[in-house]
Amino acid sequence: MSNIPDIDAKGATRKGRTGFVLTQSGRKVIWAWSFLALPIVFYSWIRFYPTLSAFWISFTDWDLLRPATFVGIANYQKLFADPIFWKVFGNTFAYLIIGTPISLLLSFTIAYFLDRVTFMHSFLRALYFLPFLTTAAAMAWVWRWFYQPIPIGVINGILSNLHIPAQQFLRSPAQALPSIMVTGIWAGLGFQIIIFMAGLRAIPSTYYEAARIDGLGEWAILRKITLPLLKPTTVFLVVFSSIGFLRIFDQVYNMTSNDPGGPLNSTKPLVMMIYQTAFSSFDMGYAAAQTVVLFMILLAVSLGQLFVLRNR
């Protein structure tokens, strides 16, 4: 926050020393900064300041009521010794590692073929985009009822008609996480398809024509032209979707609200553990330590992906 007036002052004095009147570019800089100042001040205040203070709180035992006392790394020691944290940590990565590739593969496949469909193209595209417009909570509740046991669960009803034993879905520690992930993938699909299609459209058709004249097969065209040229789009979606899965909350919370993150913590993501620690147990110091860990994970994953997918 404090560096803004400094920069302003520098710009002005530097110009001021060379001549008494500001140069054209100097005025531009001042204008630009005065416009930028507001969002920067606002952002520093509502984003950067709380982020920094979270780091501080994570070293205290603050519980909202009593004054915080410094406890060193006690919260982090407690966190790393907590089996639930490791369970939740594993869940968070399960959402990421399974969710991101599947959703990207699906959305690319759909976008790739949808791009070639001319019959009712806009209608189909709208249909795929529709889930993205729906409130996550409403969607989660509909899926929650799909997964119910007999007599109300649609999926179990179908299984029963096919003489397949009823499945537990959300009630099973093994099936609950994949069941929720399906809704998460489905919810984000529409957005990813639209972005992929925009990426596909941006590839000049002359490349394809040239390739076809040279006698390249469809598979080779996909591998040599489409995928490499689609890389910026893919990078964006990988990062975007990864962050989305790392922060998954709505679907899990709404689909397991009787036993949040359950059964037996099998679906609980880190974000939900933070929420419960902070706003149910009011253990702000411990929650802040979890937040710092999540921040580090998000940072590491995003940087890692940018590094792997960078332009060589």
Q: Binding to other proteins by residue 281, rule CB under 8 A?
A: yes
Out of 31, 42, 282, 295, name the contact with other proteins by CB under 8 A. 282
Helix axes 136-146, 176-202, angle to 10 degrees: 130
CA–CA gap between residue 261 and residue 243 (Å, rounded): 19
Closest distance to other proteins from the beta carbon of 70 (Å): 16
User: Which of the ranges 5-13, 200-208, 235-243, 279-287 carries the binding residues for other proteins, by CB under 8 A?
Assistant: 279-287
CA–CA gap between residue 246 and residue 242 (Å, rounded): 6
Q: Binding to other proteins by residue 144, rule CB under 8 A?
A: yes
CA–CA gap between residue 135 and residue 146 (Å, rounded): 17
Closest distance to other proteins from the beta carbon of 187 (Å): 21
Provide the total of helices (H) and of strands (E) in the chain, helices listed first: 16, 0
The single residue listed with the structure tokens 């929720």 is: 180
Closer residue to other proteins (CB): 81 or 308: 81
CA–CA gap between residue 282 and residue 237 (Å, rounded): 35
Binding residues for other proteins, rule CB under 8 A, total 32
Q: Binding to other proteins by residue 149, rule CB under 8 A?
A: yes
Closer residue to other proteins (CB): 39 or 67: 67
CA–CA gap between residue 61 and residue 271 (Å, rounded): 20
CA–CA gap between residue 264 and residue 9 (Å, rounded): 58
User: Which of the ranges 106-114, 132-140, 168-176, 188-196 carries the binding residues for other proteins, by CB under 8 A?
Assistant: 168-176
Out of 131, 142, 171, 302, name the contact with other proteins by CB under 8 A. 171
Closer residue to other proteins (CB): 276 or 302: 276
Nearest Cα to Cα of residue 87 among 212, 272, 230: 272
Residues in contact with other proteins by CB under 8 A are 63-66, 144-145, 148-152, 156, 160, 163, 165-166, 168, 170-173, 258-259, 262-265, 276, 279-282
